[in-house]
Amino acid sequence: MLGVNARPLVAKVVNPLAARLARVGVTPDMVTITGTVGAVASAAGLIATGQLFWGAFAVTVFVLLDMLDGALARLRGGGSVFGAVLDSTGDRAADAAIFGALIWWYSGAGDDRLLVLLALLCLVLGVLTSYIKARAEGMGLACDVGVVERTERLILVLVGTGFTGLGIPYAVDVALWVLLVGSAVTVAQRVLAVKRAAANARIPS
């Protein structure tokens, strides 16, 4: 939801930078790979070792590159099918790395089994949120509903993680609880939306 509403504002910041990168020969796929590798490395090297603030900060920087690859693709006349698949794959890898890093930290030195469970459930629900939409669109059905999409998911988990790293108590706890509820609602919304759309469409066997 936030991702769609914020696009005009984001475009004003991202498009000039994308134009400069395009002039020096940077491609959308290069940006996607850099952002994914950076986000995964930051999560594994910082968040998983308990450096929560700097981990959240570094991941945020690399995740923001995700806005640049789309802008670059548009400047080059549109993205490729491979680029779209690579971008989606990178998003899933980065998301998994963030929650996996939290699970690793809180199952070890962080020592909080409840947060391990919350992070695991949020990871699973995040995967389901993306899968339902991808599967529905693959069947020719619209599935654009949901109170918590990727933008909201990243804001919640990274802000909560960063604030916890700054010593604010229960920040990540609150963030994961809110994310858990919101993600569960989103999964239900998407299942119902697909059910309604499928009722008026012929599904190939």
In a domain, 73, yes or no: yes
Q: How confident is the model at residue 5 (pLDDT cuts 50, 70, 90)?
A: low
Active site residues: 91
The per-residue pLDDT for range 68-122, each reduced to its tens digit, is 887 888 777 777 889 889 999 999 999 999 999 999 999 999 999 999 999 999 9
CA distance 80 to 34: 18
42 pLDDT more than 70: yes
Q: Which domain holds residue 7?
A: 2-198
pLDDT at 66: 78
Q: How far is CA 186 from the centre of its chain?
A: 14
Query: Is residue 59 within 8 Å of residue 43, measured between CB atoms?
Result: yes
Amino acid at site 121: L
Using only C-alpha atoms, the chain has a radius of gyration, in whole angstroms, of 18
Does the reported pTM lie above 0.75?
yes
CA angle at residue 133 from 128 to 135, to 5 degrees? 90
CA distance 50 to 68: 29
Number of independent structural domains in the chain: 1
In a domain, 203, yes or no: no
In a domain, 204, yes or no: no
| Binding-site sequence positions for a CDP-1,2-diacyl-sn-glycerol | 29-32, 70, 74, 80
In a domain, 189, yes or no: yes
What 3-state class would DSSP assign to 69?
Answer: helix
- The distance in angstroms from the start CA to the end CA of the chain is 32
In a domain, 205, yes or no: no
CA distance 129 to 106: 24
| Binding-site sequence positions for Mg(2+) | 66, 69, 87, 91
Give me the helix-helix angle, 150-165 and 113-138, nearest 10°: 160
Supply the CATH number for residue 191's domain: 1.20.120.1760
